[in-house]
Amino acid sequence: MKVDVIISADHINEESLEGKTVVVIDMLRATSVITTALANGAKKVIPLLTVEEAFDMKEELKSLGESVLLGGERRALKIEGFDCTNSPLEYTSDVVKNNNVVITTTNGTRAITLSLKADEILVGAMINAKAIVDKVKDINKDVVFINAGTNGEFSMDDFICSGYMIYLLSKDKEHDLTDIAKTAKLIYKSNENIIDYIKDARHYNILKTLGLEADLNYCCQKDIIKSVPRYDKNKKSIVI
Amino acid sequence: MKVDVIISADHINEESLEGKTVVVIDMLRATSVITTALANGAKKVIPLLTVEEAFDMKEELKSLGESVLLGGERRALKIEGFDCTNSPLEYTSDVVKNNNVVITTTNGTRAITLSLKADEILVGAMINAKAIVDKVKDINKDVVFINAGTNGEFSMDDFICSGYMIYLLSKDKEHDLTDIAKTAKLIYKSNENIIDYIKDARHYNILKTLGLEADLNYCCQKDIIKSVPRYDKNKKSIVI
């Protein structure tokens, strides 16, 4: 199995993903939110780029008799008229069960949109890393870990999350790792307590300054969720 | 000073380099060759993409009464009709003194061509890292370390070389490092004996398989050369 990492949605070469498994990672906080919402019983998660698309989708689903929850953030704050922010802690079972969750996320949605040529698009974070890796092994095709990044830039948090997944993947079998995949794994191996590394990340510090430490502590936990969210190209939704 | 790293010439956003210092790194082996040739007395180094351009340039310079040496490689082997391969050990004082050196390099030349909007383009490697860093400090503008990479891909060797330079740059003053710059520095700090890290690099192993260990050992030495090659946009040449 070939194992690669792409450090930003800006660097995706769509053709190169054909026949492969993609794992989209935006651990602070979009893919942690998606994973949590689905594990807690949400019917599906619909990732959209803009607030306008989210409101339109809510109307469309309501007209079909579906219940809808709007989630997301702009500059880490709740969007007017939305139900939830981008804090995974808000997506409890009480809130999401049997609901359709529409979330607006720029980096994560872009990464998914640019990955449509892949055979399978999984959505992962630290909190479900082991489950993702087990699924990647089952599928047994070349895999690319796509770090959504922050505004097109490399993000330390997504990188070490990829490194942890590659470490798990390589535990019982040697795979063909690119230089960047080897480096991500090495960063994880040198920082198994991932906060030691992430504490220097720009995005982590922005969230910390905003008082979102509870979110950070939640998102940095390993393997607390067994669900494997995957993007269903026909339904244009993420499901488990 | 803002400090950034670009992991492949493919990822260069030309406009973003305006007003900045760029350091182009292709340590195995193009920028090690360039640094060595200039330190050993070459008049200038002209980096070109193709073998044809190199032969044309030789004719042009000869018609002006200049002496010319052709260097470079294809698949790590000497090019027919060329004087030298891409081994820095061939560019001794006896060979290069007062010569114009024309080299064909794909990754390095592309990185330079895409950096022309930068204020200053320096050409560096492990062997002259400290001299490069001292120059970057003197210039005192935001700096981007551009890793030429290998065929558009991230290369561990160029990354740790950037990390060593960022480590030196940050020794006596804190700068504003991007996440990728912090990660490069961390990789260096965890592998001060850089061979420990580079030994897993794909490119390193290709060169090793070809029996080029003497070159690898030479290129992995730190700070043995004090010269700072810079690209002169008017002369379209690298000089010191």
**CA dihedral (B108, B111, B114, B116) positive or negative:** negative
What confidence score (pLDDT) does residue B223 get? Answer: 98
Residue type, B62: K
Contacts A180 to B, Cβ<8 Å: 7, 153-154
- Token readout for B50 is 């193709």
Regarding beta strands A68-72 and A176-177, do their DSSP bridges make them parallel or antiparallel, or are they unpaired? Answer: unpaired
Residues in A touching B179 (Cβ below 8 Å): 153-156, 159, 200-203
Give A42's pLDDT tier (boundaries 50, 70, 90).
very high
Spatial CB neighbours of A60, under 8 Å, sequence gap ≥ 6: none
DSSP-derived secondary structure letter, A15: G
- The count of structural domains within chain A is 1
First-to-final CA distance of chain B: 24
ipTM of the complex in this document = 0.93
Reported as a single tens digit per residue, the pLDDT across A86-143 is: 999 999 999 999 999 999 988 888 899 999 999 999 999 999 999 999 999 999 999 9
What are A193-233's pLDDT values in tens digits?
A: 999 999 999 989 999 999 999 999 999 999 999 999 999 99
Mean pLDDT (whole number) for B86-103: 97
| pLDDT > 80? residue B217 | yes
Asked if A190 has any chain B CB less than 8 Å from its own CB, the reply is: yes
Do residues B24 and B112 touch, judged by C-beta distance below 8 A?
yes
Which two tokens mark A147? 């770090």
Backbone angles phi, psi at A57, to 5 degrees: -65, -35
The residues, ordered by sequence, that sit 6+ positions from A97 with a Cβ below 8 Å of its Cβ are: A40, A41, A42
What mean pLDDT do residues B96-104 have? 96
Give the gap in angstroms from C-alpha B10 to the nearest C-alpha of chain A.
Answer: 9
A179 and B190 in contact by Cβ < 8 A? no
Residue A200 sits at the chain B interface (C-beta within 8 Å) = yes
Q: How many CA atoms lie within 13 A of A155 on its CB side?
A: 26
B190 contacts on A by Cβ (under 8 Å): 186, 190
A201 touches chain B (CB under 8 A): yes
- CA A161 to chain centroid: 10
- B231 within a domain of the structure (yes/no): no
pLDDT tens-place string over residues A60-94 = 999 999 999 999 988 777 899 999 999 999 999 99
- pLDDT-derived band at B13, boundaries 50, 70, 90: very high
Tokens of B231: 């690209």
Mutation target for A interface from B183, B191, B198: give the one with most A CBs within 10 A. B183
In the predicted model, what is the mean pLDDT of residues B101-126? 94
B18-58: pLDDT as tens digits: 999 999 999 999 999 999 999 999 999 999 999 999 999 99
Predicted pLDDT at A83: 96
In this prediction, residue A106 carries a pLDDT of 82
- Whether B139 maps to a domain, the answer reads yes
- Give ∠ CA A66-A226-A7 in degrees, rounded to 5: 90
Does residue B76 surpass a pLDDT of 80?
Answer: no
Residue B234 lies in a domain: no
- Does any domain span residue B221? yes
Of the partner residues A154, A190, A203, the one whose CB lies closest to the CB of residue B180:
A154
Q: Which of A232, A70, A231, A125 is nearest to A133 (CA)?
A: A125
Residue range A8-36, pLDDT digits in tens: 999 999 999 999 999 999 999 999 999 99
**CA-to-CA distance for B19 and B132, rounded, in angstroms?**
18
How confident is the model over B99-114, as a mean pLDDT?
91
Q: For residue A145, is it within any domain?
A: yes
Position A236 in a domain: no
Spell out which residues of chain B touch residue A7, defining contact as CB-CB under 8 Å. 7, 180
Rg, chain B, Cα only: 17
Q: Kindly identify which residue of chain B lies nearest to residue A178, measuring between CA atoms.
A: B202
State the pTM of this model.
Answer: 0.94
Q: B178 and A11 in contact by Cβ < 8 A? A: no
Please name the member of A178, A201, A203 whose beta carbon is closest to the beta carbon of B153.
Answer: A178
Backbone torsions φ then ψ of A157, nearest 5 degrees: -65, -50
**CATH number of the domain that residue A39 is part of:** 3.90.1560.10
| Res. A173: pLDDT tops 90 | yes
Closest Cα in chain B to A201: B179
Please count the residue pairs, one from chain A and one from chain B, whose beta carbons lie less than 8 angstroms apart. 56
Look-up of token digits 């990660």: B183
- A124 within some domain: yes
Q: Does A155 touch chain B (CB under 8 A)?
A: yes
Q: For residues A42 and A23, what is the distance between their CA atoms, to the nearest angstrom?
A: 20
Residue of A179, A194, A202 best to disrupt the B interface, most CBs of B under 10 A: A179
Per-residue model confidence (pLDDT) at position B105: 85
Is a pLDDT exceeding 90 seen at residue B232?
A: yes
Does residue A237 belong to any structural domain of this protein?
no
The pLDDT-based confidence of B124 (bands split at 50, 70, 90) is very high
Q: Does B53 touch chain A (CB under 8 A)?
A: no
What is the pLDDT confidence band of residue B108, given thresholds at 50, 70 and 90? confident
Q: Which residue of A has its CA nearest to B157?
A: A179
DSSP string of B74-126? BTTBPPTT-SB-S-GGG--HHHHTT-EEEEE-HHHHHHHHTTTTBSEEEEE-G
Furthest-apart CA atoms within chain B: distance in Å = 52
What Rg, from alpha-carbon coordinates, does chain A have?
17
Joined together, the tokens standing for residue A161 give 């999350």
| Strand ranges inside B118-183, DSSP E | 120-124, 143-147, 176-177
Domain that holds residue A203: 2-226
Using CB atoms, which residue from A153, A182, A197 is nearest to B200? A182
Q: Which amino acid is at A108?
A: G
Read off the pLDDT band of A150 (50, 70, 90).
Answer: confident
- % of chain B with per-residue pLDDT over 70: 100
Angstrom distance (rounded) from CA B163 to CA B160: 5
